[in-house]
Structure 1
Amino acid sequence: MKPIGFWFAHLHQALESSLDHLLAAESLTRRHWQVLNTGASPDEALKPFGDLRETVADLRLRGWINEDGLTEAGRAAHLRLKAKIGEFRSRVTEGISEDEYRTTVDVLERMAANLARE
């Protein structure tokens, strides 16, 4: 049996790669999705994600966001992408019960908390 670090790294890479591929079909990146998914003013809600000026500028050029947040076109794009992301998440968790998923997340949270105490 391979250790958790192997599976964690493998899963992380697989998730990133698959999500990148899904979004690239619309000439978007994960950062674009994060901006759209906040549904809030891009300047305030996205500080944790770092410098997203280029991403925000691109979404402004597309007419998907303005100074108030998502535009009507942005909300439509968000809903379309949200459905695709939902299908992606369903595919990732196929064959995994809700309890198994919750247990996995709980275990990972506790492991992270254990390391944060060092």
Structure 2
Amino acid sequence: MKPIGFWFAHLHQALESSLEKVLADESLTRRHWQVLNTIDSGASVDDALSPFGERRETVADLRARGWIDDDGLTGTGREVHLRIKTKVGAFRSRATEGISDEEYRTTVGVLERMAANLARE
């Protein structure tokens, strides 16, 4: 059996490259998706950036596309977000196919505890 580090790195790369393909249809990056999704949850544009570091170029691009303005998502932005959200939901379903909710929660809980253990160092 390969160690957890191998599977973690392999899964991370698979998730990143698969999500990149999902977003490529809209000429978006993961950062675009994160900002759109955070704004959709009710956060301001500035708050949407804070978890991801300063990414003003991402916001500038979304503004240029007409998807966000000072008030959040525009009508077009909401339509695009919903379309992408559906694609991302299908991606997530593929990634967790054959995995029960309990198995998923257990896996995430174990990874969270491992990260906490190492954070104490």
Match of 1:93 in 2: 96
**TM-score normalised according to structure 2 size:** 0.94
State the 4+ residue runs in structure 1 displaced beyond 2 angstroms.
none
Unaligned runs of 5+ in 1: none
Work out whether 1:42 is the aligned partner of 2:59.
no
Give the partner amino acid of 1:88: F
Q: Answer 1 or 2: higher relative contact order, Cα 8 Å, separation at least 6.
A: 2
Post-superposition offset of 1:46 = 1.6
Match of 1:68 in 2: 71
Post-superposition offset of 1:42 = 1.4
1:78 aligns with one of 71, 77, 81:
81
Q: Distance in 1 between matches of 2:81 and 2:112?
A: 28
Q: Distance in 2 between matches of 1:26 and 1:78?
A: 10
Two-structure CA RMSD over aligned residues (Å):
0.8
1:115 aligns with one of 100, 111, 118:
118
Q: Distance in 2 between matches of 1:16 and 1:42?
A: 24
Match of 2:105 in 1: 102
SS state at 2:77 partner: helix
Q: Distance in 2 between matches of 1:9 and 1:105?
A: 15
Give the partner amino acid of 1:15: L
Per-residue Cα deviation, 1:35-90 (whole angstroms, up to 9, x for no partner): 11012221122212012111111110111000111111111111111100000000
Give the partner amino acid of 1:62: R
Per-residue Cα deviation, 1:1-54 (whole angstroms, up to 9, x for no partner): 000000000000000011011101110100110111012221122212012111
Q: What is the percent sequence identity of the aligned residues? A: 79
Q: Distance in 2 between matches of 1:12 and 1:44?
A: 26
